[in-house]
Amino acid sequence: MVLKEGDKVILHDVHSKYDGETGTINGVMETMFGSSNYTIKFENGQESGIGEGALELLVEEDTEE
């Protein structure tokens, strides 16, 4: 899965106060191991250092016809 800034995601991390909430990626940082960590902005704050495995891309369906 390729995530980028501006994508809307759902956080799945039972140790986070934002678990299950929808947020927007506002920062991507590559680690020295070739993976990425993300900063997610939520309505009431943000969470940094989130791995891709804890994120679910929110696909917004186009409702216009």
Q: What is the pLDDT of residues 45-64, one digit of tens each?
A: 999 999 999 999 998 766 56
pLDDT at 60: 72
Burial 9-22 (b: 16+ CB within 10 A, else e): bbbeeeeeebeebe
- Do residues 7 and 25 touch, judged by C-beta distance below 8 A? yes
Q: What is the pLDDT of residues 27-50, one digit of tens each?
A: 999 999 989 999 999 999 999 999
